Amino acid sequence: MKNNVLSGLSRRRFLQLGSTLLAASSLDLLFSPSAVARAVSQAMPLFAALRPAKKGILTSAHWGAFEAIVEQGKMVGVQPVQDDPAPNELIEMAPWQVHAANRITSPVVRKSWLENGPGSRNDLRGRDEWVKVSWEKAIQLVSDEIRRLQSAYGPSSIYAGSCGWKSTGMLHNCRALLHRLMNLSGGFLSYSGDYSTGAAQVIMSHVVGSTEVYDQQTTWPNVIDNSELVVLWGCNPYTTLKNSWNVPDHVGLEGFAALAKKGTRIITVDPINNPGSKQLNAEWIAPHAYTDAAMLLGIAHTLLSEKLHDEAFLQRYTTGFAQFRESLLGEHDGVAKTAEWASTICGVEAETLRQLARDMAKKRTMIMAGWGIQRQHHGEQPHWLLVTVAAMLGQIGLPGGGFGFSYHYSSGGSPSAKGGILSGISAGEAPQNSPVPVPVARMADCLANPGKTIDYNGRQVTYPNVKMVYVAGGNPLVHQQDTNNLRQAMQHPETIIVHEPWWTSTAKFADIVLPCTTSYERNDMDMGGDYSQRYVFPMHQCVPPQHESRNDFDIFRDIAARLGVEQAFTEGRDEMLWLKSMYDNMKTQARNAGVPLPPFDQFWQSNNYIRFPVPEENKNWIRFADFRADPLLNPLGTPSGRIEIFSRSVAKMNYDDCPGLPGWFPPHEWRGSDVAQRYPLSLNSSHPPHRLHSQLDNTPLRDKYAVSNREAILINTQDAAARKIQSGDLVRAYNDRGQILVGALVSDDIRPGVVRVCEGAWYDPADLSEPKTLCKNGSVNCLTFDIGSSRLAQANCGHMAQLEVEKYCGEEQKNTAHSVPFGA
């Protein structure tokens, strides 16, 4: 899904554009005096040397490209690449990742499974003994089990979707490799959508005709020059821009810094006043959790009643405003969605809402929204209403105006470069009889309820009977909502196989665990800049495979061999031959775009990276400008070709939880629901500043955020005082679904009534014989609920739950989240 964020449009655009030359530094060192080298060196003056020194071995991660310093086979330090405008502390953890005490050292099998076969004592998962086996034995067990299930039950019995953030690298992409193996050996059950934007990507395709969330944004130089007001709506860019799906170019962080320097007015709408917002001197508006839809309706009503809306824009570029106006005025339900009405729901004063509406209308305004607001029940509504408000403002397609849903992610708005694009190893073709994918966040529901049918975006999906779960590159025990429900659901499959470098929570709950290398133990490549596609980074092997770990590629190749599909799996290529073919393909594209590159061997030996040029015209690209210029020639991908404020397609689905017009629908749990009497606090599960989800939780960066050696809970001063909680206290956070131990961080930077526990702490159950046992490390999904956002998108609601907290006075609980289990 995220592999290629460039929309067809922007990608086509930049391939057509301009013609200058490429990049690569220390060229005289790199290239022999061939014709290519001469051509390249002529272009030299355009480019600064990319690296200050050849100190280390060039590699990269989701959090940045860097040189690894290696001494006697051990990684001992790192140095960021010179091109990175905002290197962060996550890269410094690479040595700790490689040499972590909780690496998985050899293949292991759960004792009951090994002795009594698949499905034996599934209740012991997570606490059974482990038995070490040889690689040969492990490969045989896995292959035999795949063969058994394929022949007895067919491909729908194997859930190998394996959603997750794995590591960077286009060849050692464990998820693609898993899918490749499965497609070659009979097919498998996969998933649709993702955890990140499950609700927004579905509703946006109906409203603006593309997922929008992964599309290129109006570029940064244009925003910096033209935006007079930037509204960060549930958007925390200084945290979330640290990481990217590919290697980050961190251009977005430069962009925000430029806004701050220029003094552009910035408003943040968020229950939390994030440190990044302070760095931007942003004004803080703090709504109650989960009430953004009501707040946006109040703003829309103000625009309408004060005649600040752009009738001409709405007429020409949208459909359904007439119906929306009726609903704003309360013509059907008798409730006008005034600022006063909104205020009673969202807790922001009516006058503040009105002033915000006026300011947005009078200034060139860019609304930058994050995605936490749609990881909620009825999460389709906020983004739909943001587009509606932006349409009323009439600035969509103008310089520095409109909305952008990816400025906080992977540097959306980083201008597109011109060159070539690496495509990774492919998952191959799915066999014809492949089962219908299940919406990703319905995983636990699917495992527990074979045969159940759910609605999904106008279709129906029936869950098959899953017998095997295969995970490579994800951490579902941490990422899926309602951990205790998932634990229960995971009793159903007979076999769970996990590839992991470390003893993560998910690995601990498997039947067969295969130790794999980290990306620093193998050779690979990746693009730098998800949106700019500006760099090609080599990922050189820094250290040998640790312990008995092997590359996912080699593990799957050996399984493929036993299943009789080795040749189709490898296509006769080993690691370096694959990298060369990927590079050559990219090089041909670059040459066609007028950017010559050195041959693969020279590139590889240079221990250097490629920086493609960014054509001038790409620096001022404006999203929706072509649509605005001529909506008939450049229609949107919606049925009407326009922005659909009312969607007939959605209306026709007849879903009570997502009808044809956007609105405020009280969520499953919030401060206004009955459950709030027992559980008055609203949960916020923001993404962690010092991790990527659960990745790096087992490194010393933990010292920066852990409180009393647990995940922190950010709690308002008043809420803490009422419960006699002080900063540093060990706290139990709980509701009917589960309980976690967390460390208190008392602050006025969070709205009273809201508490934050970042997602991603490794699940560490105190006593697995109890269904709702305490998590000793503070994994927030023990508290969340597992229902779909609506029948439309079936997305996860991870950013929502009511709970209570109390000072923990129970017996001492040793945190064992990062320990190695018995027998392993």
- Binding region: 165, 375, 475, 479, 522, 552, 781
Choices 72-80, 112-120, 122-130, 372-380; region in contact with ligand MGD by CB under 6 A:
372-380
Please choose which of ligand MGD, Mo ion, none residue 550 contacts, taking the beta carbon within 5 to 8 angstroms, the exact cut-off set by kind: none
Please choose which of ligand MGD, Mo ion, none residue 784 contacts, taking the beta carbon within 5 to 8 angstroms, the exact cut-off set by kind: ligand MGD
Is residue 375 near ligand MGD by the rule CB under 6 A?
Answer: yes
Cβ distance to ligand MGD smaller for residue 364 or 499: 499
Cβ distance to Mo ion smaller for residue 241 or 653: 241
Choices 196-204, 696-704, 723-731, 809-817; region in contact with Mo ion by CB under 5 A:
196-204
Pairing label, strands 512-515, 524-528: unpaired
Pairing label, strands 468-472, 495-500: parallel
Please choose which of ligand MGD, Mo ion, none residue 290 contacts, taking the beta carbon within 5 to 8 angstroms, the exact cut-off set by kind: ligand MGD
Q: Which amino acid is at 315?
A: Q
Residue 295 CA to residue 347 CA, distance in Å, equals 9
Q: Which run of H or of E encompasses 806?
A: strand 802-807
Is residue 372 near ligand MGD by the rule CB under 6 A?
Answer: yes
34 in Cβ contact with 11 (< 8 Å): no
498 CA to centre of own chain: 21
Cβ distance to ligand MGD smaller for residue 412 or 631: 412
Is residue 239 near Mo ion by the rule CB under 5 A?
Answer: no
Is residue 406 near Mo ion by the rule CB under 5 A?
Answer: no
Cβ distance to ligand MGD smaller for residue 62 or 611: 62
Residue partners of 35: CB distance under 8 A and separation at least 6: none
Is residue 479 near ligand MGD by the rule CB under 6 A?
Answer: yes
Residue 742 CA to residue 777 CA, distance in Å, equals 7
Footprint (CB under 6 A) of ligand MGD, residues 513-572: 516, 519, 552
Q: How many residues does the chain have?
A: 824
Shortest Cβ 637–ligand MGD spacing (Å): 23
Three-state DSSP state, 515: strand
Shortest Cβ 468–ligand MGD spacing (Å): 16
163 in Cβ contact with 194 (< 8 Å): yes
Three-state DSSP state, 562: helix
Q: Which amino acid is at 399?
A: P
SS (H, E, C) 311-365: HHHHHHHEECHHHHHHHHHCCCCCCCCCHHHHHHHHCCCHHHHHHHHHHHHHCCE
Pairing label, strands 130-132, 108-110: antiparallel
Shortest Cβ 195–Mo ion spacing (Å): 5
Residue partners of 525: CB distance under 8 A and separation at least 6: 169, 170, 171, 422, 536, 537, 538, 539, 579, 582, 583
Footprint (CB under 6 A) of ligand MGD, residues 180-219: 195-196
User: Of these, 100, 139, 160, 174, which contacts ligand MGD (CB under 6 A)?
Assistant: 174
Cβ distance to ligand MGD smaller for residue 40 or 427: 427
Choices 124-132, 250-258, 269-277, 333-341; region in contact with ligand MGD by CB under 6 A:
269-277
Three-state DSSP state, 616: helix
Both structure tokens of 419: 């060159």
Cβ distance to ligand MGD smaller for residue 371 or 609: 371
Q: Which run of H or of E encompasses 233?
A: strand 229-233
Both structure tokens of 215: 């599309």
**277-296 mask for ligand MGD (x: CB under 6 A)?**
----------x-xx-x----
Both structure tokens of 226: 């033209």
Shortest Cβ 759–Mo ion spacing (Å): 9
671 CA to centre of own chain: 27
Q: Which amino acid is at 258?
A: A
Is residue 167 near ligand MGD by the rule CB under 6 A?
Answer: yes
Q: Which run of H or of E encompasses 592?
A: helix 575-592
**688-727 mask for ligand MGD (x: CB under 6 A)?**
xx-xxxxx--------------------------------
Orientation angle between helical segments 292-305 and 380-393, nearest 10 degrees: 20
User: Of these, 79, 150, 236, 789, which contacts ligand MGD (CB under 6 A)?
Assistant: 236
Pairing label, strands 681-684, 754-756: parallel
User: Of these, 67, 92, 270, 554, which contacts ligand MGD (CB under 6 A)?
Assistant: 270
Please choose which of Mo ion, ligand MGD, none residue 404 contacts, taking the beta carbon within 5 to 8 angstroms, the exact cut-off set by kind: none
415 in Cβ contact with 621 (< 8 Å): yes
Q: What angle (nearest 5°) sits at the alpha carbon of residue 402, between those of residues 398 and 407?
A: 115
Cβ distance to Mo ion smaller for residue 2 or 358: 2
Please choose which of Mo ion, ligand MGD, none residue 739 contacts, taking the beta carbon within 5 to 8 angstroms, the exact cut-off set by kind: none
Choices 100-108, 162-170, 423-431, 569-577; region in contact with ligand MGD by CB under 6 A:
162-170
Is residue 798 near ligand MGD by the rule CB under 6 A?
Answer: yes
Cβ distance to ligand MGD smaller for residue 398 or 795: 795
User: Of these, 79, 684, 789, 802, which contacts ligand MGD (CB under 6 A)?
Assistant: 684
Is residue 371 near ligand MGD by the rule CB under 6 A?
Answer: yes
Instruction: Specify whether the backbone of 264 is left (phi greater than 0), alpha (psi in -120 to 50) or beta.
Output: beta
Cβ distance to ligand MGD smaller for residue 493 or 798: 798
Pairing label, strands 191-192, 318-319: unpaired
User: Of these, 10, 79, 475, 779, which contacts ligand MGD (CB under 6 A)?
Assistant: 475
Cβ distance to ligand MGD smaller for residue 597 or 754: 754
User: Of these, 381, 686, 789, 815, which contacts ligand MGD (CB under 6 A)?
Assistant: 686
Cβ distance to ligand MGD smaller for residue 118 or 778: 778
Query: Under rule CB under 5 A, how many of the chain's residues touch Mo ion?
Result: 1
Residue 196 CA to residue 186 CA, distance in Å, equals 29
Residue 648 CA to residue 642 CA, distance in Å, equals 12
Is residue 612 near ligand MGD by the rule CB under 6 A?
Answer: no
Residue 90 CA to residue 76 CA, distance in Å, equals 15
Please choose which of Mo ion, ligand MGD, none residue 524 contacts, taking the beta carbon within 5 to 8 angstroms, the exact cut-off set by kind: none
Shortest Cβ 477–Mo ion spacing (Å): 17
Is residue 695 near Mo ion by the rule CB under 5 A?
Answer: no
Q: Count Cα atoms within 13 angstroms, Cβ side, for 464.
A: 20
User: Of these, 156, 185, 201, 274, which contacts ligand MGD (CB under 6 A)?
Assistant: 274
Separation of first and last alpha carbons in the chain:
35
Which has the closest alpha carbon to 382: 220, 231, 216?
231
User: Of these, 59, 157, 196, 570, which contacts Mo ion (CB under 5 A)?
Assistant: 196
The torsion angle over the Cα atoms of residues 632, 634, 639 and 642, rounded to 10 degrees, is: -70
Shortest Cβ 268–ligand MGD spacing (Å): 8
Residue 258 CA to residue 386 CA, distance in Å, equals 25
Residue 71 CA to residue 74 CA, distance in Å, equals 5
Please choose which of ligand MGD, Mo ion, none residue 487 contacts, taking the beta carbon within 5 to 8 angstroms, the exact cut-off set by kind: none
Cβ distance to Mo ion smaller for residue 219 or 475: 475
**402-441 mask for ligand MGD (x: CB under 6 A)?**
------xx--------------------------------
Three-state DSSP state, 736: coil
Q: Which residues bind Mo ion (CB under 5 A)?
A: 196
Q: Which residues bind ligand MGD (CB under 6 A)?
A: 164-167, 172, 174, 195-196, 234-236, 239-240, 242-243, 269-272, 274, 287, 289-290, 292, 370-373, 375, 408-409, 472-475, 479, 481, 499-502, 504, 516, 519, 552, 684-689, 691-695, 759-760, 780-781, 784, 798-799
